[in-house]
Amino acid sequence: MESVRHILELIDISKQFPGVQALNQVSFAVRLGSIHALIGTNGAGKSTLTKIIAGVYPPTSGEIRFEGEPRFFQRPSDAQDAGISTLYQELTLLPELSVAENVFLGNEPRQAALPTINWKEMHDYTARALKQIGFDLKPETKIGLLSVAQRQMVQIVKALKQNARLIVMDEPTARLTEYEAE
């Protein structure tokens, strides 16, 4: 595999849990700007591989290269800091907050010289980002009022806001209807 052409390379990744060989020498490469799908039966290791990329689990053996550099993610924040955002089946949004508040959670823009949140900047950015991915939703809408599909779109906007270079989705259509998945 040629590092320069791939944003992510997994080389001979293995993962052993007590009594279970979850992955055995898996190699996989992702080009920048491409879309890939891992398809397999339950227990095939798809979620385990996703969690290794996300820094949830360390591989037992093998090498991860991200943007051509060898990487070892000890925790999810290491992968996030590198530019990898992972969206899990379990949604990680706070239902009592708005779309914009969830997108910016922990990174709220501040008013110049004031200790207050710049709500206009948050709402404007969120509206533009949602429109950019073809989704018409008001930034002020509470997450708890949204469908599962709408919440997943918000999670994608949140990942983009964090300047993700790679977005990994673990079974993104598992809880969606066929229409929502489309």
Helix (H) or strand (E) holding 129: helix 119-132
Architecture of domain 3-82: 3-Layer(aba) Sandwich (3.40)
Q: For 43, which DSSP code?
A: T
Q: For 83, which DSSP code?
A: T
Q: Which two tokens stand for residue 26?
A: 């898996």
What does the pLDDT look like over 117-176, one tens digit per residue?
999 999 999 999 999 888 888 999 999 999 888 888 898 888 888 888 998 988 777 777
Q: What is the dihedral of CA 56, 60, 64, 69, to 10 degrees?
A: 100
CATH class of 84-182: alpha beta
The pLDDT assigned to 3 comes to 40
Q: Which two tokens stand for residue 70?
A: 């060898």
Is 90 exceeded by the pLDDT of residue 7? yes
What does the pLDDT look like over 79-100, one tens digit per residue?
999 999 988 877 789 999 999 9
**pTM of the predicted model as reported, rounded to 2 decimal places:** 0.78
Going from the C-alpha of 159 to that of each of 41, 44, 62, 97, 151, the distances in angstroms are 27, 26, 27, 17, 12
Buried b (16+ CB within 10 A) or exposed e, 96-127: eebbbbbbbeeeeeeeeeeeeebbeebbebbb
Q: Which two tokens stand for residue 131?
A: 């429109």
In the predicted model, what is the mean pLDDT of residues 32-40? 88
Going from the C-alpha of 181 to that of each of 39, 41, 121, the distances in angstroms are 16, 19, 30
Under the banding of pLDDT at 50, 70 and 90, the label for residue 75 is: very high
Domain regions of the chain by residue span = 3-82, 84-182
